[in-house]
A and B are shown apart, each in its own frame.
Chain A
Amino acid sequence: MAPATSILSIEDLSIAYDRDKYAVKNVTATVRKNAITAIMGPSGCGKTTLLRAINRMHELYPNISTEGKIKLYGDNIYEMPTIELRRKIGMVFQRPNPFPTMSIYENVIAGYKLNGIHLKRSERDEIVEITLRDVTLWDEVKNALHKKGTFLSGGQQQRLCVARALAFKPEIILLDEPTSALDPVSTAKIEDLLVELKQHYTIILVTHNMSQAARISDNSMFMYLGELIEYEDTKTMFTNPKDPRTEGYLTGKFG
């Protein structure tokens, strides 16, 4: 598979939590810009670990060891300050996690506050409005901007979290099963949103939900026991999987 323009290249990446227990083994892949890349695989196969390695969130665990490289536009991310990297690569988590002590408004610009960047009032207002419009939340919350984000529904909270990640204009957004805690209607809204967002951002999405991957992703990875078994154009993978393990997973034999 030859991506049109690549933004991220993972080169022989291996990650172990304990000395010999590899959660990710020798993964090599290139991620296409302005596309949705899905990561699939059975539980415990290393999806989350791989995703977190992309913005180095996996380093928060003690005793973790990482071998190999990930290059963002050709620069090795393991040689950048994490602060800088994480601003270029945003993240959305499995469970919506808006900051409960902050209002909706403050949540959107939380990245600026956390990074100690002072904005003028008008700039803040502008960023909040644009970003909330981007995640199609503006009309729902514009009259409640200064209420706590935790009063929103689960789906709204998750869109708020996407907004929080977008407010910095990252290059890439990582999402780890962002809809697994949501109802079908909210899930559909997030999916539409992701398809909309890929015009401006590169999206990497971990999902357990095969039909979700089929519906919205352009490329798909299939992982098994830490290895990247197959990486294909999504349509090709779903219609014509090369590896029997991929086929087994897609036809529901395991996972």
Chain B
Amino acid sequence: MNSDKITKYILFGASLLILVLAGGMLYSLVEGSLPSFRVFGWKFLVSPEWNPTQGNQHFGALAFIVGTLFTSIFALLVAIPLAFSTSLIVAEYFRKTWFANVVSTCVDLLAGIPSVIFGLWGFYALRPFIVSIGLSHQGFGIFTAGLVLAIMIVPYATSLSNSIIMMVPNELKEAAYSLGATRLEVIWNVILPNARSGITASYILAFGRALGETMAVTMLIGNANILPNGLFSTGNTMASVIANEFGEASGVHLSSLIEIGLLLFVITAIINATGKYIIKKFA
């Protein structure tokens, strides 16, 4: 066998690692979830009760599913105006100027700050502020966690939309200007329709990030195993309950946490695949 063939086999062989990793992850999560699934079945998904006390053990993930969606959707709603604005500043209004450079560097830095530091900042700076303006008693909850989460996902929402907005052909903008459009009208009628799918995809990917964010949320959401009943309610997300209870969990409790991990794995995979599909298909 000649060396070229060997090289090709080595390259191909390495690529199998990806399949093994992905398959192995799914397999282990499913296997780890089985003890919980045997006890609670599909009710796991719709039961809001989570009680780890020995003897009264009962596990249902609904509170965390709702908590995750609630927090992430709120975070996305806050992040979109921030991300959309920075994109317009970087890719349209100040495109290729020093100011665009400053803004995009700052957003890059934001992406580099570790999650646990966002959590600290939320705890020591944002939370007291929220308490002081009387929005909430303790300052913990969906609202605080969602705000910090929003800031954390801004870089994910902007990185792709910046380049998509940048790619809208100048000729189309000029055509609109020559018809008497104002800048706002050009943005709304030319840039947005042309960049829509790419922007949507980047917000979907940012949402996927929000779903799995752990440390900052764990530090701010209040860690209550209840169905959240409002924006200022405390709660737990799928990721935060794993981080919180993993240390003391064993048996069915541990298996239930793994089942939550499996759910999170599947949901984020679907969200990410959707985002990537939109990019491939339309952008």
Contact = CB atoms under 8 A, between A and B. Distances in A.
A–B contact at 8 Å CB threshold (below) = yes
A99 B172 contact: yes
Interface residue tally of chain A, by bracket? 20 to 34
Contact of A84 (B178, B179, B180, B186): B180
B248 interface: no
Interface residue tally of chain B, by bracket? 10 to 19
A97 B176 CA distance: 10
A113 B175 CA distance: 13
11 contacts: A57-B177, A86-B178, A93-B175, A95-B171, A99-B176, A99-B190, A100-B194, A114-B176, A115-B179, A115-B181, A161-B175
B174 A87 contact: no
B179 A97 contact: no
A168 interface: yes
Contacts of A115: 179-181, 185
Given A86-B177, A164-B179, 5 more contacts: A57-B174, A60-B177, A91-B178, A97-B171, A114-B181
Contact of B174 (A82, A85, A93, A111): A93
Contacts of A84: 180
B194 A101 contact: yes
A128 interface: no
A115 B97 CA distance: 29
A90 B194 CA distance: 23
Interface in B252-270: none
Given A57-B174, A161-B175, A97 B169 contact: yes
A55 B97 CA distance: 26
Contacts of A101: 193-194
Contacts of A113: 189
A110 interface: yes
Pairs A-B, 4 closest by C-beta atoms? A91-B178, A101-B193, A114-B181, A111-B179
B138 interface: no
A226 to B, nearest CB: 22
Contact of A86 (B97, B169, B180, B194): B180
A12 B114 CA distance: 60
Nearest to A93: B171
A244 interface: no
A165 interface: yes
A4 interface: no
Contacts of A57: 174, 177-178
Contacts of B47: none
Which of B169, B172, B178, B182 has the most A CB atoms < 10 Å from its CB?
B178
